[in-house]
């Protein structure tokens, strides 16, 4: 059984949702340092892209946050069926 860590929980989350924002990480994973967890996973070779998205804040205005998207590795020798 593997140790339950921010990294393992985030990878499990990506299996189901493919992307995450910091608010989702706090709410769903209890992770208040998503950027640090993403950085650690990238150092381990995981392909995680970030894009800026505008979201509404609690005052009715908008703010920009990072949205992280996980790209699963392609298996060697695998070709798509066309």
Give per-residue pLDDT as tens, 27-45: 999 999 999 999 999 999 9
Q: In the numeric block, which tokens belong to residue 66?
A: 């990072």
Whether 67 and 21 have beta carbons less than 8 Å apart is answered as: yes
**Four-way CATH pick for 6-71: 3.30.70, 1.10.287, 1.10.3470, 1.10.10:** 1.10.10
* Residue 1: per-residue pLDDT: 39
pTM attached to this predicted model? 0.81
45, HSE (Cβ side, Cα atoms, 13 Å):
1
């Amino acid at each position: 059984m593997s140790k339950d860590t921010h990294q393992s929980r985030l990878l499990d989350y990506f299996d189901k949702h493919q992307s995450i924002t910091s608010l989702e990480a706090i709410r769903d994973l209890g992770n208040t340092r998503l950027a640090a967890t993403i950085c650690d996973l990238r150092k381990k070779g995981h392909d995680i892209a970030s894009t800026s998205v505008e979201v509404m804040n609690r005052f009715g205005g908008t703010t920009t946050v990072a949205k992280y998207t996980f790209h699963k590795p392609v298996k060697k020798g695998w070709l798509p069926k066309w």
